[in-house]
Amino acid sequence: MKKINFTLTTKITILLLTIFFLTKVATYENTIFILNQYTGIVRETPTFDRDEALLVLKSYDTEDSLYVKELLKVNNTWIGNTYNYKEAYEKNYLFKWGEDDQFYNNPNFDEKEREKEYNKNTGYFIIENNTRTYGLSKEEVEKKLNISSLKLKSAEVYMKKYGGKGILKKFYRDFFIALYKDKNYDEDDFMKDDEKTAPEVRKLIISRNIIIAYLVIVLISYLYFILKKNINGILENIKIMNRKIKVLFIFDFIVIISYLLLIPKLYNSIKILEFTFWWIVVKNFLLYYYLKKDKLKILLGLHFLLFTILVAIKIKFNIKLLDSLYYIIYFISLFNFTILLFYKKEKIGNILMLSSSYIVQQFIYFFIISRLFLILSW
């Protein structure tokens, strides 16, 4: 009983996390946030994913880039906190690169003096309608504005709420730029509602929403079966099939390792995304038989045969499909498994839980492949 409860808790947790991370797929982030007529906050493009200090305070009376950490709005007054020199140096590679460039190329550069000068304006600031005050301590702000306890929020919260000029997040910009190299997209092409890129991004968003809707239905069904107190039997019934799903997941990685070993022979003919796309599509169509039959070797042989034929045809005739067709083929193959389970009159609980487990693993796999695709593309 305890084992079943643990299994159920794990499944629900993984499902919730998957839904949460899927909501982050192909999302936009605001780039400009106006504080008053003289001052605003602008988002810098991160050089690396680890860059944290990205929101820059822009004002005509500040020469340095001050990176905003936290904000608070009190009536018409903005209170903020910025990273000091060492923090900005560690959390923003572009800032670090600029400072290092000065250090190596300017013989008169004094690092300690530069840090001291920069930190004159860091710390807390107050932006009012006609005045701007920088370099304050927390106590000075509380005293000046008669606030007993100053509690600021992440600057990203306010950028999301009040900002504008949305742009696709960096990972997805890089992904589309690499995917459509022949179209010569640059980062500015991925502003929200851009005529060139919005249709491509919209297809991904629609696909994401379909999967999220399906997984939400599955999550609701979990709660329903718990209330009906028949979840234990369902979990026991799908245990063997889940093991088979995990075995297939391992085979997916064997295929990718094989692909990498064939580079550069195969890479110039068919890129990793398309290679794995056809592998997954064939597996999706055969999944029902993988789970319900015991002849694993025969099915794997058929899988490899169909996959090899599709890849050979793709390379031989240089076939290029419309982007929309890739999405359509994928969803037909994915939900083919669910349709077959209904057709074979499997229990609804088995259908939902098996398909959700499979989808979760597949999206973990797609995420890894997307990362690998970006690495190979640069």
Taking Cα atoms as reference points, which of 155, 205, 179 lies closest to residue 40?
Answer: 155
For residues 34-49, average pLDDT? 88
Which residue did the predictor score with more confidence, 148 or 266? 148
pLDDT for 5 equals: 63
Report how far residue 214's alpha carbon sits from residue 270's, in angstroms, rounded to the nearest whole number: 31
Burial of 240 (0-12, 13-18, 19+ CB in 10 A): exposed
SS (H, E, C) the chain: CHHHHHHHHHHHHHHHHHHHHHCCCCCEECCEEECCCCEEEEECCCCCCCCCCCEEEEECCCCCCEEEEEEEEECCEEEEEECCHHHHHHHCHHHHHHHHHHHHHCCCCCHHHHHHHHCCCCEEEEECCCCEEEEECHHHHHHHHCCCCCCCEEHHHHHHHHCECCEECHHHHHHHHHHCHHHCCCHHHHECCCCCCHHHHHHHHHHHHHHHHHHHHHHHHHHHHHHHCCHHHHHHHHHHHHHHHHHHHHHHHHHHHHHHHHCCCCCCCCCHHHHHHHHHHHHHHHHHHHHHCCCHHHHHHHHHHHHHHHHHHHHHHCCCCCHHHHHHHHHHHHHHHHHHHHHCCCCHHHHHHHHHHHHHHHHHHHHHHHHHHHHHHC
For residues 301-305, average pLDDT? 91
pLDDT for 361 equals: 87
192-227 per-position pLDDT tens digit: 989 889 988 999 999 999 999 989 988 887 777 777
For residues 183-187, average pLDDT? 85
272-284 per-position pLDDT tens digit: 888 889 999 999 9
149-169 per-position pLDDT tens digit: 889 999 999 999 999 999 999
- Banded pLDDT at 26 (limits 50, 70, 90): confident
**332 has pLDDT over 90:** yes
For residues 312-320, average pLDDT? 81
**3 has pLDDT over 60:** no
User: Considering the chain, what is the average pLDDT of its residues?
Assistant: 86
104-145 per-position pLDDT tens digit: 888 888 999 999 999 999 999 999 888 889 999 999 999 999
Which residue did the predictor score with more confidence, 346 or 356? 356
**4 has pLDDT over 60:** no
- Banded pLDDT at 256 (limits 50, 70, 90): confident
pTM (2 decimals)? Answer: 0.80
**341 has pLDDT over 90:** no
Show Cβ contacts of residue 111 under 8 Å, excluding neighbours closer than 6 positions.
103
